[in-house]
Amino acid sequence: MNFKSAIILILFCLKTFSQTKIEDLNLMPWPQNITLNEGSFTLSSSFKVTISGIVNPRIFVGTTNFLRRLDGRTGMFFSQGYIKDINEDPSAQLQINSLKKGVVGINQDESYKIEITSNKITIDATTDIGVLHALETLLQLLQNNGDSFYFPNVIISDFPAFTWRGLMIDVARHFQPVDVIKRNIDAMAAVKLNVFHWHLVDDQGWRIELKNKKKLTELASDGNYYTQEEIKNIVEYADQRGILIVPEIDVPGHATAILTAYPEIGSKYLKEPNEQKQSQYKIERNSGIFRPTLDPSNPETYKFLSEVFDEVCPLFPAKYFHIGGDENEGKDWDANPVIQKFKQKNNLKTNHELQSYFTLKLVPMLKKHNKEIMGWEEIMNDKMPKGTIIHSWKGSNEGSPAGESLVNAAKEGFKTILSNGFYIDLMQSVNDHYLSPIIPKETVLSKEEKDRILGGEVTMWSELVTSKNIDSRIWPRTAAIAEVFWSNEKDINLKSMKKRLQFVSNRLEELGINHIKNKKMILRNISNYQDVSSLVDLSNICEPLKIYTRNKGGTEYQTYSPFTLFADACTSDASDAIDFNEVVDNYLQDKSPKNLNRVTEYFKKWIFMHSDLIKLSENAPLIKPILPLSQSLSELSTELLAVLELNKSADKSLFNKLLINCNSRNHADVELVIGDSFKKIIDNIN
């Protein structure tokens, strides 16, 4: 090598080294321990992987998938195709070692260590589950400059803060096809979530094929359900990715679908002996809490459930079975004299005691299949086995302190997990979820009590989602929540999270998550396949109405309503709104011409946007519901532009009137989320 070539090589290496700083790393969740060293490992097409140790075959699937995602990102034609055995190439640059076979479940060793040097990458883990986590971290470590792809030289030792890191998807209100479930399982694995809670039954549908209870799918599924073979396939698919599947059949409330097929075990009292119960129940099409409830006084109820569990439990190897138990108002119990006599006979004073009686009857049915009961916090009572997992969900929306039942369950000897704060269907900002701790601050617990708090679970209720927009409701916010579940609490950093989240969000696309691309698909439908640029601009400053205000009383939208509207294209954390808010703050701190121009450029864009939307609406009726919002925004932008650029005298009363119009939540089930910044500007005008 001549002197000139050596200098070029040194400069190239220095360029590579200088590009990687700790703040450049887009890891999510953030590892427990990370040390960034000088230098890097540069990828080439000769890159290979070898595995040693004692492993579960899932490691071969996971490592092969890692290679395919890596060559997909880099465009390199790796010579190594499918990894099928241990010690395939002892000279490989990536050396993986697993000490023992991993078992999918909670309280497993998921730790791993990655060490990257300039010529070698080593992954060490106790089990292959830890290896899978390490491979996801390694993919996130991938960097590039203009000439090459490389991994920075680092040492990472990592393990989860909580053992239960879950995502629940409700497939009862809106059925989600197999491919939706699988791609979300892949995304879960990418951010180290490890429990998929499958909410399979509710008032709006029964979604499990049962050979011995065919009426459930014939009468209560609208033809949308998973065959037993599909369920087995999904369970295996999740197992290969280190994810446990916990099924849920919600009883005794939320039972409309069950009772549509088997009305004889319902609680509704019939005065006339010949009156048919069949006519009393039909699948629910609205959202909310409904009266149909299983009859706890009827022996046939328990016979039915025992037979259901006998067929469902073998489909799911998980140790836990979620029996719901939430939101039973007991109205049909109160109105049924037979049930009231049953309560008196068994000295059951309240409906909670009656439900506890019911729940305890399920314990041996599930124990028969080596399952431990899990349920929403309403199932907690002092007679439940201490192996029960209490799923805490109530918070300020339900009139309870956040996490109250979590703390109470831990103190009373139960294992418990938290979902309050992680209800992503509320369409709140990622900030709200990211800053929600699993253990409430200032809570005093013993070590034993803390150990009973297993972790947290994201909940995706599906009243307002279909397969077309569910990904945009789950991701990318769930990636940030996954960090709350995994990382050290001291590493929770809002600014850093937002920067890293954008990278992770983009990378989720390679797993088939369509949270980005389906937005334009919905907008193209709304525009009648005209140019969608202006619709995109408006959607980037609008968000769907939050905390169930979009679906007032649960009746505005039925399960068969269209979910291809403007609100379905909008998401939380509207991107231009975030940028505009920052631009306004910068301008108010420094009223330089440059900062003023950045503000007024938004005004000009929104004025043009409204004009363009009017033209588009002439051949696109679905645009018309959003025109009042864009008009209000255009009018306020025009007035502010005249004051800030043309020195027109300000009319504060007009500004405030226009601002009220902009802040209206009466159009298209969305809200403009730039009102606070407008108010700051208006208040600052002399």
Q: Which residues are catalytic?
A: 327
Largest CA-CA distance found in the chain, in angstroms, rounded: 102
For residues 191 and 29, the answer to whether their CB atoms sit within 8 Å is yes
Name all contacts of 299-303 with Cβ < 8 Å and 24+ positions apart: 300/264, 300/265, 301/265, 302/361, 302/365
Which tokens is 177 given? 């096809």
Sort 133 into a burial class: Cβ within 10 Å, 0-12 / 13-18 / 19+.
buried
Write down the H helix ranges in 388-511.
Answer: 404-411, 430-434, 447-451, 470-474, 477-486, 494-507
DSSP class of 159: -
DSSP element (H, E) containing 343: helix 337-345
Q: At what angle do helices 593-617 and 575-589 cross, to 10 degrees?
A: 150
Structure tokens at 304: 């039915």
Closest CA to 199 of 265, 243, 254, 281: 254
Angle between helix 675-684 and 652-662 (nearest 10): 180
Cβ count near 486 (within 10 Å): 26
Q: Are 638 and 609 in contact (CB under 8 A)?
A: no
Q: Give strand pairing partners of 456.
A: 165, 418
Alpha-carbon torsion (623, 624, 625, 627), positive or negative: positive
Residues whose CB is less than 8 angstroms from the CB of residue 331 and which lie 6 or more positions away in sequence, other chains included = 291, 293
The C-alpha atoms of residue 485 and residue 487 are separated, in whole angstroms, by 6
Which residue type, as a one-letter code, is found at position 505?
S
Strands of 24-139 (E only): list them.
33-42, 49-53, 94-100, 112-117, 120-127
Give the torsion sign (CA, 302, 308, 312, 314). Answer: positive
Cα 53 to Cα 85: distance, rounded to the nearest angstrom = 11
Cis peptide leading into residue 160 (ω within 30°): no
**Cα 424 from chain centroid?**
6
∠ CA 470-476-482, nearest 5°, is 110
- Give the integer Cα–Cα distance in Å for 197 and 245: 6
Name residues whose C-beta falls within 8 Å of residue 547's C-beta, 6 or more positions apart in sequence: 397, 426, 427, 428
C-beta separation of 438 from 456 below 8 A: yes
Q: Which amino acid is at 602?
A: Y
Q: How far is CA 548 from CA 34, 78, 148, 430, 456, in A?
A: 41, 49, 48, 17, 22
- The dihedral region occupied by 239, where left means phi > 0, alpha psi between -120 and 50, and beta the remainder, is alpha
Structural element, H or E, at residue 568 = helix 566-569
